[in-house]
């Protein structure tokens, strides 16, 4: 909870400083394919156009970050950092010629990771979290398409979403996994033993049938031999 709280605190601090000192920090955002836009990969999530924009990103980011650090504590920091930088880098490479600011790309990345990771791991607790994400933030899907919202970086949304999907696959074998209970292992062992017994019985039955068939084939031959001797 410390890291999400500190991150959101600095988001608000940046906006308060911008307002108090009447400065424009949007120049610290991401401007694709320019050297001056590279620092935005680091600074853009802290910069917002107004308090409404800031508030709309603060709540989901705080909630999703807490969910990440609670349910995926072993890999949470790695996932958070990778989502942060990967989303920013992809926006710098593929975004429109404009200043891209705000933490919405990070929000979409975390939501995507939490959703797909729960499905991939097939662990009921994580699947429940995935369903909760859909229930709370399912409407976010419209932000992935261009033209739906004005003056919104849909590229950040889409690329953050893709980053979360890639990371959910990349870290699928790390962190919480679907538990294997002892009774499941015992059932597998019993099923394996029954399978061996059935295979052994089947082999024995097959051998008996083969011997019986051989005997039936030999009987006509002996009869033919007896008839031949009588005819001579």
Give how many domains the chain has, as a whole number: 2
What are 172's two structure tokens?
A: 């699928």
Full domain range(s) for residue 24: 2-170
pLDDT in tens, 105-135: 999 999 999 999 999 998 888 889 888 888 8
Task: Tell me: do 142 and 223 sit in the same domain.
Answer: no
Give the dihedral sign, CA 97/103/107/112: positive
Q: Are residues 76 and 138 in the same domain?
A: yes
Predicted confidence (pLDDT) per residue in 68-79, tens digit: 999 999 999 999
Same domain, 126 and 147: yes
Average pLDDT of the segment spanning 178-194: 60
Q: Kindly state the tokens that stand for 43.
A: 């600074």
pTM score: 0.76
183 vs 215: CA distance, rounded Å: 48
pLDDT of residue 192: 55
What are residue 147's phi and psi, to 5 degrees?
Answer: 85, -10
Chain-centre distance for alpha carbon 180 = 20
Statement: residue 13 has pLDDT above 70: yes
Q: Which long-range CB contacts under 8 A does 79-83 form with residues at least 24 apart?
A: 79/110, 79/113, 79/167, 79/171, 80/3, 80/110, 82/163, 82/167, 83/109, 83/110, 83/113, 83/160, 83/163, 83/164, 83/167
Query: Does residue 193 sit in the same domain as residue 162?
Result: no
Q: What is the CATH number of the domain that holds 6?
A: 1.20.1540.10
> Do 126 and 117 form a contact (C-beta atoms < 8 A)?
yes
Mean pLDDT computed over 88-113: 95
**Same-domain status, 188 and 79:** no
pLDDT band for 175, please (50, 70, 90 cuts).
Answer: confident
In a domain, 175, yes or no: no
Same domain? For 162 and 218 the reply is no
Please state, in angstroms and rounded to a whole number, the distance separating the CA atoms of residues 58 and 6.
11
Interior/surface letters 96-106, b for 16+ CB within 10 angstroms, e for the rest: eeebbbbbbbb
For residue 34, pLDDT over 60 is answered with yes
Does residue 176 belong to any structural domain of this protein?
no
| Structural domain includes residue 163 | yes
Residue 177 lies in a domain: no
Report d(CA 106, CA 125) in Å as an integer: 23
Does the residue 134 lie in any domain?
A: yes
């Amino acid at each position: 909870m410390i890291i999400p709280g500190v991150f959101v605190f600095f988001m608000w601090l940046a906006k308060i400083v911008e307002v108090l000192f009447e400065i424009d920090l949007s120049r610290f955002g991401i401007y694709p394919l320019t050297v001056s836009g590279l620092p935005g990969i680091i600074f853009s999530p802290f910069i917002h156009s107004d308090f409404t924009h800031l508030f709309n990103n603060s709540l989901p980011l705080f909630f999703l970050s807490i969910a990440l650090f609670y349910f995926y504590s072993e890999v949470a920091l790695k996932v958070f950092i990778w989502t942060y930088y990967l989303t920013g880098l992809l926006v710098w490479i593929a975004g429109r010629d404009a200043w891209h600011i705000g933490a919405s790309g990070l929000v979409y990345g975390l939501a995507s990771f939490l959703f797909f990771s729960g499905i991939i791991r097939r662990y009921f607790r994580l699947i429940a979290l995935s369903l909760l994400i859909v229930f709370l933030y399912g409407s976010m899907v419209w932000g992935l398409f261009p033209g739906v919202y004005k003056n919104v970086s849909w590229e950040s949304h889409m690329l953050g979403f893709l980053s979360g999907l890639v990371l959910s696959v990349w870290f699928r074998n790390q962190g919480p996994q679907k538990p294997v209970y002892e009774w499941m292992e015992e059932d597998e062992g019993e099923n394996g033993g029954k399978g061996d017994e059935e295979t052994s019985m089947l082999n024995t039955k097959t051998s008996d049938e083969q011997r019986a068939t051989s005997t039936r084939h030999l009987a006509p031959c002996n009869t033919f031999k007896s008839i031949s001797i009588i005819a001579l």
